[in-house]
């Protein structure tokens, strides 16, 4: 009635060999969907993708206010990319959405390797996941703008991720110094003309009333659930000697608070006193 789903032995061997060639040539690439609870109590779905060929991990989810957060960890270049697509307030003269990108260095052991991520599977896809460790908040002053057309020197992912942001791609000076020492051209970066550090009297957008005045904008996000460490167990043989092996992951949650210069408050309407 439904036909046969069983391939002949020769065909199965042929398919296996092609799969083996594909994995060897192109690396592992997988997608994992996880349900998590946000700080406001709402449930959202995180989509985690791992690409072992590009040695990268992508995490994407939608916040309760509709903001789409996309995060990429580029292990080849040790770069983190955060992108936020924020719904605009049309009645206040904003466009349909506003794109922001924040670029910073990726430290070792922040996330599990992409190859390990690509092998993750979950037994209960309907379960609501809670991170085992809630890590501290990173407060980042993003006082340097990035030139999108030359940002490939930092990571090949930036152009595709941040092309919609263009004039709103930020990083911080301490990371710039590191990249310059590694040979990245200075033309990639532009010190913001009135960054928070250069002009201490620059008001926060929260306390600025004139929407056309420059100010210091803030944006916060939290990665509610991601694999941060590999767990190891130990086998014991007949002689009593033990050998470690991977037996699971540890999940973490981490928040980020970005502060950066905007030429006018109209670009930061979410950062207002309530």
Query: Environment class of residue 156 by beta-carbon count within 10 Å: exposed (0-12), middle (13-18) or buried (19+)?
Result: middle
Q: Rounding to the nearest 10 degrees, give the CA dihedral for residues 156, 161, 162, 165.
A: 170
* Mean pLDDT within 184-211: 80
Q: What is the pLDDT of residue 273?
A: 55
* Lowest-confidence pick of 3-17, 131-145, 155-169, 209-223: 3-17
Distance CA 5, CA 110 (A): 43
d(CA 173, CA 252): 27
pLDDT at residue 255 is higher than 60: yes
Q: Give per-residue pLDDT as tens, 67-119.
A: 999 999 999 999 999 999 998 777 776 677 899 999 999 998 899 999 988 88
The separation between the first and the last C-alpha atoms of the chain, rounded to the nearest angstrom, is 64
Residues 6 or more apart in contact with residue 76 via CB below 8 angstroms: 54, 55, 56, 155
Mean pLDDT of 223-247: 80
Does the pLDDT of residue 17 top 80, yes or no? Answer: no
> What's the mean per-residue pLDDT of the chain?
84
Q: Decide: residue 218, CB within 10 A, 0-12 exposed, 13-18 middle, 19+ buried.
A: middle
């Amino acid at each position: 009635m439904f036909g046969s789903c069983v391939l002949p032995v020769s065909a199965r061997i042929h398919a296996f060999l092609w799969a083996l060639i594909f994995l060897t040539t192109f690396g592992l690439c997988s997608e994992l969907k996880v349900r998590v609870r946000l700080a406001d109590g709402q449930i959202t779905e995180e989509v985690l993708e791992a690409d072992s060929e590009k040695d990268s991990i992508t995490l994407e989810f939608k916040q309760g206010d509709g903001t789409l957060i996309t995060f990429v960890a580029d292990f080849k270049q040790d770069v983190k990319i955060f992108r936020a697509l924020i719904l605009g307030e049309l009645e206040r003269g904003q466009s349909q959405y506003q794109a922001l990108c924040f670029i910073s260095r990726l430290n070792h052991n922040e996330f599990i390797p992409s190859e390990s991520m690509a092998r993750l599977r979950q037994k209960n896809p309907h379960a609501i996941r809670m991170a085992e460790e809630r890590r501290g908040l990173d407060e980042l002053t993003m006082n340097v703008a990035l030139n999108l057309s030359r940002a490939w020197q930092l990571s090949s992912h930036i152009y595709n991720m941040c092309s919609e942001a263009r004039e709103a791609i930020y990083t911080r000076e301490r990371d710039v110094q590191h990249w310059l020492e590694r040979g990245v051209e200075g033309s990639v970066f532009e010190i913001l003309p009135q960054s928070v550090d250069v002009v201490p009297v620059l008001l926060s957008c929260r306390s600025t009333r004139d929407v056309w005045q420059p100010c210091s904008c803030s944006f916060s996000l939290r990665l509610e659930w991601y694999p941060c460490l590999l767990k190891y167990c130990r086998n014991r043989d007949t002689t009593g000697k033990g050998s470690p092996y991977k037996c699971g992951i540890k999940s973490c949650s981490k928040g980020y608070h970005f502060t950066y210069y905007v030429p006018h408050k109209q670009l930061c309407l979410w950062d207002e006193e309530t």
